[in-house]
Structure 1
Amino acid sequence: MTSEEKKERPISMINEASNYNMASDYTVHPMSPVGRTSRASKKVHNFGKRSNSIKRNPNAPVVRRGWLYKQDSTGMKLWKKRWFVLSDLCLFYYRDEKEEGILGSILLPSFQIAMLTAEDHINRKYAFKVRKCNALFEALRSKS
């Protein structure tokens, strides 16, 4: 690829309010008129994923830790048991209680916590959803 071709590559745009946990799938070509966007590909959903997780401050006090089940965001919608830590207004989750290798994080002030509705098609006791505005949501539940 020549240096001219590299200059003309589309620039990814990320919504400023959603820097922490969501990614945009729109691109703007540098030579395009302002406001013109093109669809890059299928919807990108990086809700709380490792690639854009917030680093946990080891000095911040932990409010609560424990097991929750997180619904997988793939098409299978399987429930996976994850170790969650609530600290510094953020919900961090790991594979187990060793708290090594963060799997993801949810910055709570930028999300809404709500009860599931019939339209969500999730019939699990003690389940709730975490969502940002009208975006896709993550479903979480506990055993009790």
Structure 2
Amino acid sequence: MALETTLILFKPDALQKNVTGQVLSRFQAEGFVIRGIKMMKLSDEILAEHYAHIASMPFFPSVREFMQETPVIALALEGENAIARVRDLLGPTDSTQAAAGTIRGDFGFKDSDSKMRNVCHASDSPEAAAAEIKRFFKEDEVFAF
């Protein structure tokens, strides 16, 4: 197994529903270690960079608006095979398809028009995790013990 650090963003719906503590507890119960955590407001620039793959799409303004409804919590988590395991814990991106017992199944919106309201973003590859951690954290904000 590979020791990995992944990025999680607690999205505005997680903060609005006040479930961030419950979700973080699930990650910690699985043995993940917090390497960095902070609350921040996302600028237009960081959102355009983070969502570069969809920034030219007609629905991107609604994604940007949603992600700026509240601050988000950025979390760098470390653990064995963290990227795949975190994504398994979260469940499918579409909360309406997420099984009970997954984070999105338990806390995500079940309205089919709210697919972006799915509690957390999580890195999908080691390369994405490295780029995303660098995007959301300064070098001195991620710690090793």
TM-score range, shorter chain: under 0.3
The structure richer in helix per residue is 2
Q: Which has the higher strand share?
A: 1
Question: Which has the higher Rg, Structure 1 or Structure 2?
Answer: 1
Give the TM-score normalised by structure 2: 0.27
TM-score by length of 1: 0.27
